[in-house]
Amino acid sequence: MGTIESLKKFALSAPQSPGVYFWKDQQGTILYIGKAVSLKNRLLSYFSSKSPYKVRFILKHAETIDWIQTDNEYDALLLENNLIKQYTPRYNVNLKDGKTYPSIKITNEQFPRIFRTRTIVKDGSIYYGPFPSADIIDKYLSIIKKLFPLRYCKTLRKREAPCLYYHIGKCSAPCAGKISQEAYMHYIEQVKLLLEGNTNMLLEQLTTKMHELAQAMEYEKAAQYRDIIVSLETFRYENPVMDFSEDSHDVIAWKKDHALLTIIVFQFRNGKMINRDLFRETYAGAEEDALQEFILSYYNTSNKIPGRIIMKTIPDQELLVQYFKEQFNTDVELKEPESSREESSRALAEFNAIEDIRHRRKETGFFEGMNALLSVLSLPKQPEKIICMDIAHLGGKYTVASVVQFYNGIPDKKSYRLYKIRSLNGAIDDYESIREATARHFMKIINQEEANLPDLFVVDGGLGQVHAVRDILTSLKIDIPLIGLAKEQETIIQPDGNTIQLEHTNPALQLIVALRDEAHRFATKTNQIQRKHAATTSVFSAIKGIGAKKSAYLLKELKTLDAVAEADTAYIQNLLHISKEQAEAVKAQAVKLLQNDKSGNSNDTI
């Protein structure tokens, strides 16, 4: 394998003229093909300290460099495109379709069920989609659940008495014969109207029902219909799947994370999104090169080329316009988004690309980060197992410590641990919280005689937090690498007080930040649940005849404030063995709490 020094020396001999270059391995197999205005400048850029990932992925296997000179950059573009198609090098864009977009499924049953799926089965079911993101589907399903009392259970079995969902008005209980098939299918037909975009008739029906309830002085139910109407109208106009323009255009967005590249294409024809394509690549070259290669490979027939292609940045715009004109006799406008509708579509495509990269990163792990940490921290071995601790509290109350673990760069959720801090008695002391949590965590390991200690301990905080951990580890005679991560500048803090400041693009820092963010999320979520549970229990306990035990039992059974607010009064009365007036007071308190919940997280488990 050629050394970096020998390859760089050879690159120095390259001409300054335009052309196409090749990276080859020891067997002469082409690893990567690229074009350049100046072959020498482009090849030397691979050895720049600003391009460590290119060097890592290509030079790791490269043996030689070769090139072909051309008269101009446009000829280099054509030659590069033809050679990539001919050789399909490992590190070029090869259009591997990774499309996994979700759809909404209405099952082919006597009483159909509606849910999200990524698998299309020819079983007579009806599918709507695919949708460009799960978020859009979740909004649809949320509206459907509010509007129509359809079944939740996967398997419909006959029951003598309906389940909880029937009592809180969320299911019509076909399992218990509480609704006829004809009435149930009427709900399904209304759902179809919604999913097909025919919302005008549905909105009229909802508005009529709202007015009827208001005239009958059932103001609470009328307000629920009002909120549903507002949500439906807002979602209808915010949904970027409809473009409302009559021309044909594509929207392209992408996300590159080191060698991982995801490209999304939304195809709009006559104002409607007719197709969504997702392509996953492992690409070692520059981002602008990847985009150009993708465009040349993706638009390979004239009937696929739209009148406009919308992107955030456009690589070699004049060359691409010339290419489409000469190769396909087609005039194409490459442009950045101008209207809010175009930007909304582009932002949605980009969001999908970002989410796909996150998903891929979870699958593949932060392997670059592990290697980088080995070097940056001078660790004795590669840190396969890394743990991170964070503390969360509210004014000294509900203090919890989280310990999360990444194994081979991937979150190992079965190893996550939470510790409710017992030693503070309401005091605010992060250092003591860290000491207690560290002692409990490692005493558990010692008592279980687990020799598999972490390869690195990260604590959220500065030198004080690091020393708090060190005190406990020293007393337990545990010797493992330890660092802190200070939030403001994302500075790495070592036990001796030395600091390390890395670029935000450094994979070592990205791995540590991902750990810290996950530990923070885990701790904060638990803290919020404890606070909300305590506050809600306290409110219900204040009702005469409803003590702490009944309040806790109510929340255990119904799970969410929404469920309490929507439950039948009789159901609450029978559940807690209380009077009708007390049950009504419980419902009223739940409604009041929901109205005061400005965060909009009323469905969080409490």
Structure confidence by residue, pLDDT tens digits, 343-384 = 878 887 888 788 788 777 766 667 778 888 999 999 999 999
**How confident is the model at residue 111, as a pLDDT?**
94
Q: What is the pLDDT of residues 185-218, one digit of tens each?
A: 999 988 887 877 667 777 888 788 888 888 887 7
Q: In angstroms, what is the C-alpha Rg of the chain?
A: 30
| β-pair partners for 405 | 387
**Mean pLDDT of the 110-120 span:** 87
C-alpha span between 143 and 153 (Å, rounded)? 18
| CATH code for residues 370-524 | 3.30.420.340
Confidence of residue 396 (pLDDT cuts 50, 70, 90): low
Domain boundaries, the chain: 4-87, 103-238, 249-364, 370-524, 542-596
**How confident is the model at residue 395, as a pLDDT?**
54
Q: Is the pLDDT of residue 604 over 50?
A: no
C-alpha span between 247 and 93 (Å, rounded)? 29
**Mean pLDDT of the 507-521 span:** 89
3 state DSSP class of 450: coil
Same fold, 4-87 and 249-364: no
| CATH code for residues 249-364 | 3.30.420
Placement of tokens 């003590």 in the chain: 547
In 3D space, the residue among 87, 88, 61, 68 whose CA is nearest the CA of residue 18 turns out to be: 68
**Mean pLDDT of the 311-332 span:** 87
The structure's pTM equals 0.47
Which of the given ranges, 21-25, 368-372, 383-387, has the highest pLDDT on average? 383-387
**How confident is the model at residue 8, as a pLDDT?**
86
Backbone angles phi, psi at 78, to 5 degrees: -65, -45
Higher pLDDT, 123 or 237: 123
- Between 3.40.50.920, 3.40.50.2300, 3.40.1440.10, 3.30.470.20, what CATH number should domain 4-87 receive? 3.40.1440.10
**Mean pLDDT of the 517-545 span:** 70
C-alpha span between 61 and 65 (Å, rounded)? 12
Confidence of residue 299 (pLDDT cuts 50, 70, 90): confident
